[in-house]
Amino acid sequence: MAADYDAGDGVRRRPSARVVVEDIVSVVTVLFGILEEGKKKGIFAEAVPFLIHMMIVGTILFYKKATPIKDRQSWLPAAIKPMIKNSRETWETKWRSWC
């Protein structure tokens, strides 16, 4: 997705609305292809690609925003905390490799 970028002069800039829309369209197009292939193979049912996209993005945002709240929960058993931390680090490493 569109993020701040450096045009080569060291100045961070926000992308235009057009760039953001083009990025969303490209992501939804890829997702559409995945859904179509899955439908042909009988794996997926009919679905609206943009709705699926928003479900995925919403889940990622919820996970990222809930992490600080979850980390402050003192009632979590000590054995669980390292598992949560490791899963978050693994997810973030994978996410960065995709971006």
Does residue 56 sit within a domain? no
Q: Tens digit of pLDDT for each residue in 50-73?
A: 889 889 989 888 888 887 777 777
Q: Are residues 41 and 71 in the same domain?
A: no
Does residue 13 sit within a domain? yes
Q: Are residues 41 and 79 in the same domain?
A: no
Cα torsion for 78, 83, 89, 90, to the nearest 10°?
Answer: 170
Q: Are residues 1 and 47 in the same domain?
A: yes
Token pair belonging to 92: 């973030």
Is-contact 1 27, C-beta < 8 A? yes
Q: Residue 1 above 50 pLDDT?
A: no
Global confidence as pTM:
0.51
Does residue 77 sit within a domain? yes
Q: Are residues 42 and 87 in the same domain?
A: no
Residue 45's nearest CA partner among 36, 33, 54 is 36
Q: Are residues 19 and 46 in the same domain?
A: yes
Q: Residue 40 above 90 pLDDT?
A: yes
Q: Are residues 72 and 44 in the same domain?
A: no
Domain limits at 78?
A: 67-99
Domain count, the chain: 2
Does residue 97 sit within a domain? yes
